Amino acid sequence: MFDYIFIYDLQNYTPESSDKELEIDEHVDMELIAGVSQKESCCADEEMDVDTSLCTGDSQLDASLSMHDYCGSTPGYSDIRNQCTQTHISCKLIDACTQTDTDLWTSDTWVQTEKSIFFSYRDATTQVDKPLMTYENIKNSDDKVSFYTGIPNAYSFEALFNEIKDDAEEQTGRKTKNIPMETDETRSRGESGRPRSLRLIDEFLLVLMRIRLGLLLEDLADRFRISTNTCGAIFNKWIDYLDVQFQFLVKWPSRSNIDSTMPYSFQKKYPKCRVVIDCTEIKTETPHSLLLKSAMYSDYKSHMTFKSLVGISPAGVVTFVSDLYTGSTSDKQITNLSGIVDLCEEGDAIMADKGFLISDLTTPKGVDLIIPPFKSKKKAFTPREVRQTKDIANLRIHVERQMERIKNFRILQGVMPISMASQSSKIWKLCTRLTNLQPPLVLTK
């Protein structure tokens, strides 16, 4: 039985010499042999039981390949290494290529497969630096939560996260095609995708910070200590996921619900009002296509814009939000395409600005249209028309206040990059839905 094995020339080893003992090269430094002997005497109390099979040439080859594999696989022996178990023995060897002494760190005899080496490397690539910004930095202050995320307090933030976190691990993961995300089960089978760089709650915070503060990806990448590409991938995945998960924040209410929450100001003047609607625009960059330039140019803003319709209940809660349309689309076209009139019942009323000439859409469905009266060319407003205009303006102001709340998300301010056009509607709807978590605009009493 060999307590220590000296391997000096792997290339000169052949299977036919498996029954012969390995001979020590004449060039081996005698001081090295003396050092090994001294080490042997010091470790006598900790002698390990080594299988007698190590005395064979094949076992020596396995151990040799195992030791050399720390610096990479040995050419020509990869198949043999994959088939054998790697038994590590405390020893000192002479490198076959450089003929220099190399210390090997080992522990008690243990078995390691190639898969475990692979996963150890994967675990080592997981981020270990704490981000400069985490949820723990803001959760004790409702003002900070509101500032960074647009959600009024930490309780609402955590309630939202708990609602969506069950599926977030799978739906927002960075995985390649046909490769599931990393779990204990998939890890054991070697089928997992890329590991996450951040916790789920911090990824959620990152997305909300981008839409609330309008931060650039480079800024967020520095704050969370990740790469810009990773930051962009996280944002895109979460926007798609939240667009589905947060649909419950904007619901079309029943007629009885509208009546039970209708403020006195509406009950007195327009008790049949079901929804107050208005359109708004957000600026975007100029596209290269001449056709898109013509479609997106807004005469009202004198800029390339996206346009959307928003409807609120008399109580000031958002009950409808449409997709984004090109800036040249008229209010009437958006109203027709969005389908909001189809949601109303016979006997309901829609309050809008005088620019919504949609009586031909509402009348056939038995829906009244409440808009300010038009002034004729030769006649001034009558006292009744003046009071009507004032009453409608006082009630319509709430939808304008709601638009202001939505645009407090700074990603909608300024000019939206044209590269975000594919996700602009999802971002717009997400910002609109989050405003329903804020206190109501109109008092019910």
Q: Are residues 240 and 256 in the same domain?
A: no
Note the pLDDT tens digit of each residue in 268-284: 999 999 999 999 999 99
> For residue 6, is it within any domain?
no
Of the candidates 366, 368, 375, 333, which has an alpha carbon nearest to the alpha carbon of residue 349?
368
- pLDDT, position 38: 52
How many domains does one find in the chain? 3
Q: Are residues 274 and 396 in the same domain?
A: yes
- pLDDT, position 124: 39
Exposed (0-12), middle (13-18) or buried (19+): which is 229, by Cβ within 10 Å?
exposed
- pLDDT, position 296: 94
d(CA 17, CA 274): 93
> For residue 10, is it within any domain?
no
Q: Are residues 277 and 389 in the same domain?
A: yes
Whether residue 46 is predicted with pLDDT greater than 50 in this model: the reply is: no
Whether residue 60 is predicted with pLDDT greater than 60 in this model: the reply is: no
Mean pLDDT over 342-367 rounds to 93
Whether residue 260 is predicted with pLDDT greater than 70 in this model: the reply is: yes
> For residue 275, is it within any domain?
yes
Q: How confident is the model at residue 395 (pLDDT cuts 50, 70, 90)?
A: very high
Mean pLDDT over 329-354 rounds to 94
- Which residues are CB-contacts of 245 (< 8 A; sequence separation ≥ 6)? 163, 164, 167
377: domain CATH number is 3.30.420.10
> For residue 9, is it within any domain?
no
For tokens 């009139």, name the residue. Answer: 341
- pLDDT, position 174: 61
Q: Are residues 186 and 306 in the same domain?
A: no
Return phi, psi of residue 312, to 5°. Answer: -120, 155
- pLDDT, position 185: 56
> For residue 121, is it within any domain?
no
The DSSP 8-state label assigned to residue 297 in this structure reads E
> For residue 117, is it within any domain?
no
Q: Transcribe 360-401 into DSSP letters.
A: HHHGGGT-EEE-PPPPPSS-PPPHHHHHHHHHHHHHHHHHHH
Final residue belonging to a domain, choices 60, 78, 112: 112
Q: Are residues 148 and 53 in the same domain?
A: no
What does R_g of the chain's alpha carbons equal in angstroms?
36
Least confident among 16-20, 242-246, 287-291:
16-20
Final residue belonging to a domain, choices 228, 248, 268: 248
- Which residues are CB-contacts of 145 (< 8 A; sequence separation ≥ 6)? 138, 139, 151, 152, 153, 154, 157
Whether residue 28 is predicted with pLDDT greater than 50 in this model: the reply is: no
Of the candidates 270, 279, 258, 441, which has an alpha carbon nearest to the alpha carbon of residue 369?
270
Give just the sign of the alpha carbon dihedral 63, 66, 68, 70: negative
Mean pLDDT over 200-204 rounds to 95
Q: Is 411 helix (H, G, I), strand (E, B) or coil?
A: helix
- pLDDT, position 378: 65
- pLDDT, position 364: 93
- pLDDT, position 335: 95
Exposed (0-12), middle (13-18) or buried (19+): which is 95, by Cβ within 10 Å?
middle
> Residue type for 65, please?
L
Q: Are residues 65 and 152 in the same domain?
A: no
Q: How confident is the model at residue 352 (pLDDT cuts 50, 70, 90)?
A: very high
> For residue 104, is it within any domain?
yes
Note the pLDDT tens digit of each residue in 310-321: 999 999 999 999
Q: Are residues 243 and 255 in the same domain?
A: no
- Which residues form the domain of 184? 127-248
Q: Are residues 61 and 40 in the same domain?
A: yes
> For residue 292, is it within any domain?
yes
Torsion angle of the four alpha carbons 199, 202, 208, 211, in this order, in degrees rounded to the nearest 10: -90
Mean pLDDT over 236-247 rounds to 95
Q: Distance between alpha carbon 122 and the CA centroid of its chain, in Å? A: 21
Q: Are residues 243 and 254 in the same domain?
A: no
- pLDDT, position 444: 64
Count of C-beta atoms within a 10 Å radius of residue 310: 25
Whether residue 82 is predicted with pLDDT greater than 70 in this model: the reply is: no
The separation between the first and the last C-alpha atoms of the chain, rounded to the nearest angstrom, is 94
CA distances from 91 to 4, 9, 10, 26 (A): 6, 16, 16, 20
- pLDDT, position 48: 45
* pLDDT, greater one: 31 or 228: 228
Return phi, psi of residue 314, to 5°. Answer: -60, -25
Return phi, psi of residue 85, to 5°. Answer: -85, 150
Final residue belonging to a domain, choices 112, 138, 164: 112
Q: Are residues 321 and 376 in the same domain?
A: yes
- pLDDT, position 252: 95
Q: What does the mean pLDDT of the chain come to? A: 76
Q: Are residues 82 and 141 in the same domain?
A: no
Q: Are residues 194 and 88 in the same domain?
A: no
